[in-house]
Amino acid sequence: MIKKILIANRGEIAVRIVRACAEMGVRSVAVYAEADRHALHVKRADEAHCVSAEPLEGYLNPRKLVNLAVETGCDALHPGYGFLSENPELAEICAERGIKFIGPSAEVIRRMGDKTEARRSMIAAGVPVTPGTEGNVADMAEALREGDRIGYPVMLKATNGGGGRGIRRCNSREELEQAFPRVISEATKAFGRAEVFLEKCIVNPKHIEVQILADSQGNVVHLFERDCSIQRRNQKLIEIAPSPQLTPEQRAYICDQAVRAAQAVGYENAGTVEFLLAEGEVYFMEMNTRLQVEHTISEQITGLDVVREQIRIASGLPLSVQQSDIIHRGYALQFRINAEDPKNNFLPSFGKITRYYAPGGPGVRTDTAIYTGYTIPPYYDSMCLKLVVWALTWEEAMDRGLRALDDMRVQGVKTTTAYYEEILRNPDFRSGQFNTSFVDEHPQLLEYSIKKYPSHLAIAIATAIAAHAGL
């Protein structure tokens, strides 16, 4: 069994992994850049080591991270999500130094990270894929020829892209011509490679993904699906498990395809297979070879701890459950509370948290690394916490979400909280029938009123009066 894990990440996911380690009796080692010296994951881990003075350098240096794992006596490394989580070099260096990488093999990461290779693998396995190019397009001239062949609109995608970056919808030949150099530039800067390919744009699909777990004995299970259709510019905002939009037959089919996809590539550990659903047709989109931000809602509906299973799998143990043991109960929603101003084109709002109050009550969970007095640094993404609610029915889950969002207080920065409340009140969302165009088609939801909360002084005075009155 793994005894000590270096967590090659920061923020809420690092805290999440620390908690799993603590419950399993596994020691945790945090890493941090100087900008994160006062971060919560640094405070909560058994050990913490500074890896760089620069904000990003240490988190993006695979050899430095693995060397630290060896120096601190770790026998495993957990990459979390983002940063180097889907970097095959990190997995390779771990193998070279005798450190267990908590994730799939470098070969699988590389194979699934190359979206054209992933498409070929899925076609060979009989998993339906979106019509598109056989491989990468060499230049703009080939892209234009392929766009004409496939038919507009098309999606121009970076072969090694992810997280909503390196992707453009092109509605015409002219738009493809304009987008091509931009996507090439973005792919080169973000992923270090300029390869791109084309897929048919599936207009207004539902975005459905399946959480899978696979051990080294060849066992693969799914934890049912998540609906990620509520998104803006390919960035997920609200995730739901299970999807309120699927029939039992669709659920069974999509989950079976996800298991087939994992088996086809010899997958091991936790992963996610993403699909598009439109007009009754299902299309493979990509496989994420890491822990997902939204794994929390799969945990809520199944009762399984995904990170615990990751550590068990990496230790060489079989899955703790079989598919027949896994059932889903109720509905869970996850809200990505971002430090952004929705009224100002979702501009990031970094700064000091002057007051933070986490909501509670039945069926409410928060995963975060913020606290009152913490300063959100401007060097990383804007997500400051994940609010998760669970209830037995879809209607109860939405109502609980409204209550929990209203209970929560994050002051000092602007957040997306009030915007999510408007979404939850919207009849189109409450109907349970929506697709990836929901945000664009409901611009009026940004016309909400900003809530005014009492100041610290007013709160202190009210508290003193209540105490004096014996209330």
Q: For residue 9, give the CATH number of its domain.
A: 3.40.50.20
Q: Which pLDDT score is estimated for 455?
A: 56
Q: In this structure, are residues 213 and 319 in contact, taking their beta carbons and an 8 Å threshold?
A: yes
Q: Report if residue 455 sits inside a domain.
A: no
**340 and 215 in one domain?**
yes
Task: Assess if residue 289 is contained within a domain.
Answer: yes
Residue 42 contacts residue 58 (beta carbons within 8 Å): no
| Domain count within the chain | 3
Q: Do residues 432 and 285 both lie within one domain? A: yes
In the block, tokens 């399993």 appear at 24
Give residue 451's pLDDT.
74
d(CA 165, CA 235): 9
For position 148, which CATH number holds?
3.30.1490.20
**Which residue numbers are catalytic?**
290
Same domain, 187 and 280: no
Residue 245 located in a structural domain:
yes
Residues 243, 298: contact at Cβ < 8 Å? no
**Residue 357 and residue 229 share a domain:** yes
Query: Which tokens hold the place of 107?
Result: 């070969």
Which residue from 32, 110, 94 is spatially nearest to 314, judged by alpha carbons? 94
SS3 344: helix
| Residues 6 or more apart in contact with residue 245 via CB below 8 angstroms | 206, 227, 229, 277, 432, 433, 434
Distance CA 152, CA 174 (A): 11
d(CA 462, CA 365): 28
Rounded Cα gap, residues 78 and 100, in angstroms: 9
Place of tokens 């997920």: 236
Domain contains 457: no
Q: In this structure, are 309 and 433 located in the same domain?
A: yes
Decide if 435 is inside a domain. yes
| Cross-strand pairs, 240 | 227, 333
Number of H helices, E strands in the chain: 16, 22
Taking the mean position of all CA atoms in its chain, how far away is CA 199?
A: 23
Distances (CA, A) of 206 to 39, 229, 258, 276: 36, 5, 16, 6
Phi then psi for 133, rounded to 5 degrees? Answer: -75, 155
How far is residue 208 CA from its own chain's centroid? 13
Q: What is the pTM of this model?
A: 0.91
3-state class of 63 per DSSP? helix
Looking at the structure, tell me whether residues 248 and 369 fall in a common domain.
yes
Q: Examine residue 465 and state whether it is found in any structural domain, yes or no.
A: no
Q: Tell me the torsion sign for CA atoms 220, 223, 225, 226.
A: negative
User: Which of 86, 102, 118 is a domain's end point?
Assistant: 102
Same-domain pairing of 160 and 245: no
Strands 4-7 and 76-78 come out as: parallel
Distance in angstroms (rounded) separating the CA atoms of residues 51 and 59: 8
Q: H or E stretch including 463?
A: helix 456-468
Q: Identify whether 459 is part of a domain.
A: no
Residues 291 and 427 in one domain: yes
Residue 61, SS3 per DSSP: coil
State the Cα angle at 145 between 139 and 148, rounded to 5°: 140
- Tokens 């699906």, residue located: 225
Which residue, of 58, 86, 102, is where some domain finishes? 102
Last residue of a domain, one of 82, 102, 122: 102
Structural domain span for residue 46:
4-102
Q: Which stretches of the chain score pLDDT less than 70?
A: 163, 452-471
Same-domain check for residues 71 and 189: no
- Indicate if 192 and 241 belong to the same structural domain: no
Which residues are 45's β-sheet partners? none
CATH of the domain at 432: 3.30.470.20
Residue 219 lies in a domain: yes
Residue 140 sits in the same domain as residue 247: no
Q: In the structure encoding, which two tokens stand for residue 327, read together?
A: 């059932």
Residues 274 and 165 in one domain: no
Cα atoms in the Cβ-side hemisphere of radius 13 Å centred on 176: 28
Instruction: Classify 303 in phi/psi space as left (phi over 0), alpha (psi -120 to 50) or beta.
Output: left
- SS3 at position 390: strand
